[in-house]
Amino acid sequence: MGILQMHRRSFGLALALILAAMAGRAAGDCKLKQFAQLPVTMAGTRPLIAGSINGTAVQFLADTGAFVNMISRETAERLKLRSDPLPQGYLVWGIGGAALPSLAIAKDFTLAVVDGRRGLGNARVFPAGPLRAPLAAQLACTDALLVVGDGEGARDVTAAAPGLPVFHGHLQPDPAAIAELKAHQVFAFAGIGDPDKFFATATEAGISIVERQPFPDHHRFTAEEAATLIMRAEHDGLALLTTEKDRARMAGEPLLAALAAKTHVLPVTLAVIEADELRALVLAKLQR
């Protein structure tokens, strides 16, 4: 549980974040940590914080009880904020009735992540390719690039944005999971965007993959598929292995629950080589 607490001082406003592991913990278990410090200008009894959105100067009213900031559609357009309709049923009630709101998000920092081996694939926009928007349009609102893994696949992206800082990262598999899986020969399967990357990560960690089965991204496993995977693994004496994302989708059928119980996962952590530099860049952008 996180509680954001604001303390008013003569030189500004300090934000303190009180963290508790879960609701109901004793007050002595909470820890107070200063999260940030923001300069405040008092306009009568209203504390205002100066900022900017997409290059336009704005004033924010410091309100510890606000869940979101409400602005008009005209203001959102003036600040160049794209607005998207909220799901049906979301209403804002106030004096005079209710309104159907839209959601606009102001991005402070955009990090574009590129796979070092695969790159952008055919570099086409969905559904013809993996991109959700043209590359040039995305790079225009990107603050930095993060290349994950080895390879030359990201070369075209970094060349298209010579002014952007480039960071590098790699996936670190969980040592305990590796140690357990090294004792087995493995049948690996995955229904993610790039199953081959998962298979390669496991192989590079020293896991012996004897069989592999890729599925489409966001694949919903059927009871028949679950039975087939279990049967193939048991017939060949193999341990089943998949991603955490895939095992989380194994629900709703007894056979899917059985597959989940028999399947190992390989948790991974993204480690950024230039972590300190990336952290400094993000904090500098947020403090503007």
pLDDT in tens, 115-149: 998 888 888 888 888 888 888 888 888 999 999 99
Task: Provide the pLDDT for residue 29.
Answer: 65
163 vs 21: CA distance, rounded Å:
41
Q: Which secondary structure element, helix H or strand E, spans residue 200, and what is its range?
A: helix 195-204
Task: Provide the pLDDT for residue 82.
Answer: 76
Q: If you write DSSP's letter for every residue of 130-161 in order, what string do you get?
A: SBSS-HHHHHTT-SEEEEESSSSTTHHHHHH-
Report pTM. Answer: 0.64
Mind listing the pLDDT tens digit for each residue in 203-223? 999 999 999 999 999 899 999
Mind listing the pLDDT tens digit for each residue in 228-243? 999 999 999 999 999 9
Pick the CATH number of 175-266 from 1.25.40, 3.40.50, 1.20.120, 3.30.499: 3.40.50
232 vs 246: CA distance, rounded Å:
18
Residue 22 is given by DSSP the state: S
- Identify the bridge partners of residue 242 per DSSP, sorted by sequence position: 265
The answer to whether the bond into 127 is cis (omega within 30° of 0) is: yes
CA distances from 161 to 58, 143, 145, 156, 170 (A): 29, 10, 9, 9, 21
Residues of the chain with CATH 3.40.50: 175-266
